[in-house]
């Protein structure tokens, strides 16, 4: 969640942050499950897109709104960021 809100702010995107999950609940609501059938946050609705899974959201926001600074043309440059991002979730976070 934090990483998504961090990028939203870095990109200066107009947004509405709807709290859900934990004490806020709502993840079992049919309307929420229609957005993310896994019943988890974060989820982003942006124009026609509904994106769930935090790293998919980060990639989407970077590609859609970030320009070349956040979504470089060069696949090797993108892969460098992708590697660190996925490593943080699969290795670093697990060790934490």
Ligand X SMILES: N[C@@H](CCC(=O)N[C@@H](CS)C(=O)NCC(=O)O)C(=O)O
What residues make contact with ligand X under the rule CB under 6 A? 1, 21-22, 27, 40-42, 53-54
Smallest gap from residue 68 Cβ to ligand X (A): 25
Within 1-96, residue ranges assigned H as helices are 2-10, 30-35, 54-65, 67-70, 75-87, 93-95
Residue closest to ligand X (Cβ): 21
Smallest gap from residue 51 Cβ to ligand X (A): 10
Non-local (6+) Cβ contacts of 84 within 8 A are none
Smallest gap from residue 82 Cβ to ligand X (A): 14
């Amino acid at each position: 969640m934090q990483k998504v809100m961090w990028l939203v702010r870095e990109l200066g995107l107009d947004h509405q942050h709807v709290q859900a999950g934990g004490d806020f609940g709502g993840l079992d609501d049919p309307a929420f499950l229609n957005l993310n059938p896994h019943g988890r946050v974060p989820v982003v609705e942006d124009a026609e897109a509904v994106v769930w899974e935090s790293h998919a959201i980060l990639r989407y926001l970077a590609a859609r709104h970030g320009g070349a600074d956040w979504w470089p043309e060069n696949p090797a440059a993108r892969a460098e960021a992708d590697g660190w991002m996925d490593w943080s979730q699969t290795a670093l976070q697990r060790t934490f």
